[in-house]
Amino acid sequence: MWKVKAVSVPKDDFLASKRSKHSFRDALSAPVSQPSISAAKAQLNIFSRMPKWVDTLMNIRNKTVKYFGFKVATDSTLHMEKTDLKLGDSAGFMTVISVHDQEIISFAEDKHMQFYMSVTTDGQQATVSTLVNLKTPIGRLYMALITPFHWIIARVVIHNAVQEQRL
């Protein structure tokens, strides 16, 4: 049933070059049914549809953490009227900072953390890799609290995209 797998984190990619002492990094991979899908389209297709329970959790999270200086999105999903993401586009609470056919990188920063996300495609797999550089003790505490939620939500959202053949 679950086709989403944790994979080794790349050691020599762009995100690795941005990693700081206090950080969290992971990578999840899933098969694609559209071999020619670009990384930008894969990111849109994965994150454009969130389960209602994820939206509810994100709304609670956003209402809570904004008072502590964390960056929050006004909408947790990407909008499907977009057909692709381009350099400088808003992608949820992040901004697209690099776009290539096989990789797109988005970035966000607040006083507690830097957040990078890379989506890559190779014709057979799509891989979503995240890097969170934790700048403050509050950022480290926050990450410790939300890591279990991240593991579940990321897998469910990617799994849903695979099941619905959006990848």
Instruction: Please give the pLDDT value at position 48.
Output: 86
Instruction: Please give the pLDDT value at position 115.
Output: 95
Give residue-wise pLDDT tens across range 44-95. 999 988 899 998 988 888 888 888 888 776 654 555 456 678 899 888 788 9
**pTM of this prediction exceeds 0.95:** no
Which bin fits 133, alpha (ψ -120 to 50), beta or left (φ > 0)? beta
Instruction: Please give the pLDDT value at position 49.
Output: 87
pLDDT above 90: residue 140: yes
pLDDT above 90: residue 165: yes
What is the maximum span of the chain, computed from C-alpha positions, in angstroms? 43
CB under 8 Å to 52, separation ≥6 — which residues?
A: none
Q: Which helix (H) or strand (E) is 6 found in, with range? A: strand 5-6
On average, the pLDDT of the chain sits at 90
Q: Tell me which of 103 and 92 has the higher pLDDT.
A: 103
Between the CA atoms of 15, 99, 121 and 91, what dihedral angle is there, to the nearest 10 degrees? 80
pLDDT band with cut points at 50, 70 and 90 for residue 19: very high
CA distance 69 to 117: 20
Counting residues of the chain whose pLDDT is more than 90, the rounded percentage is: 69
Instruction: Please give the pLDDT value at position 93.
Output: 81
Structural domains in the chain plus CATH codes: 5-163 (3.30.530)
Asked if residue 46 lies in contact with residue 119, where contact means CB atoms within 8 angstroms, the answer is: yes
Instruction: Please give the pLDDT value at position 68.
Output: 86
Half-sphere exposure of 4 (CA within 13 A, CB side): 21
pLDDT above 80: residue 14: yes
CA distance 167 to 160: 10
Six token digits for residue 16: 């690795």
Six token digits for residue 126: 């799509």
